[in-house]
């Protein structure tokens, strides 16, 4: 494809975001359009809810009623997205010309980082680059790709201290 895939915001019926994502992914797969429609995201964020003096971390939609789609804009890709059940239209669309998100908007939403592949594995040694443990070496004990977190053990005072960090808070020791 000569044209680069861009992120577009699609408006959906409230509460249908995940259904739209699933339906759109099925349509892409069934029609072999992976080269035109390259990603569908429902941006989520962790929120702490308090109930009966207990705190619980839950995932909430960042933008209820909206789904983000990375696609090369063609008549075919526009038609597939626009006619997916639950979609009401593109945001910023004037007739058939939806407006893509700018690179700055994509970065501010953290979308670009969502597809980063990390070169870390369990048992590997890393150096902590941020957090109170900055500068300490650690060993990876678990990797959560969905939340983009790693669990590490830091050797402190003669014993292993567990810590959970974001991908960008550790770097591989070569």
pLDDT computed for residue 136 by the predictor: 92
Topology, domain 124-172: SH3 type barrels. (2.30.30)
Write the CB contacts of 145 (distance below 8 Å, at least 6 apart in sequence). none
Query: Where on the phi/psi map is residue 81: left (φ > 0), alpha (ψ -120 to 50), or beta?
Result: alpha
Residue with the bigger pLDDT between 31 and 120: it is: 31
Q: Flag whether pLDDT at 160 surpasses 60.
A: yes
Q: Which sequence spans correspond to the domains of the chain?
A: 6-109, 124-172
CA distance 174 to 153: 18
pLDDT of the residue at 115: 45
In three-state secondary structure terms, 151 is strand
Q: Please give the distance of CA 112 from its chain centroid, rounded to a whole number.
A: 8
Give the C-alpha separation, 95 to 61, whole Å: 28
Q: Same CATH fold, 124-172 and 6-109?
A: no
Label the pairing between strands 54-61 and 44-51: antiparallel
**Which superfamily does 6-109 belong to?**
NusG, N-terminal domain (3.30.70.940)
Give the span between the Cα atoms of 128 and 137, in whole angstroms: 6
Looking at per-residue pLDDT, the higher value among 92 and 165 belongs to 165
Residue 2 has what pLDDT? 45
pLDDT at 114 over 50: no
**pLDDT for 68-85, tens place per residue?**
999 998 899 999 999 999
* Nearest-angstrom CA–CA distance, 73 and 10: 13
**More confidently predicted of 20 and 57:** 20
């Amino acid at each position: 494809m000569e044209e680069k895939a861009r992120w577009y915001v699609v408006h959906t019926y409230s509460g249908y975001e995940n259904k739209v994502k699933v339906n759109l992914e099925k349509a892409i797969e069934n029609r072999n359009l992976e080269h035109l429609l390259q990603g569908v995201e429902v941006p989520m964020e962790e929120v702490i809810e308090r109930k009966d003096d207990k705190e619980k971390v839950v995932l909430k939609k960042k933008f209820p009623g909206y789904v983000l789609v990375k696609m090369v804009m063609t008549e075919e890709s526009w038609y597939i997205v626009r006619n997916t059940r639950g979609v009401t239209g593109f945001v910023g669309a004037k007739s058939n010309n939806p407006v893509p998100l700018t690179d700055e908007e994509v970065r501010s939403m953290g979308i670009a980082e969502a597809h980063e592949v990390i070169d870390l594995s369990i048992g590997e040694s890393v150096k902590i680059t941020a957090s109170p443990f900055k500068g300490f070496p650690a060993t990876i004990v678990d990797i959560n790709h969905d939340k983009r977190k790693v669990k590490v053990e830091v050797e402190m005072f003669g014993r292993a201290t567990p810590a959970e960090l974001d991908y960008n808070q550790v770097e591989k020791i070569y």
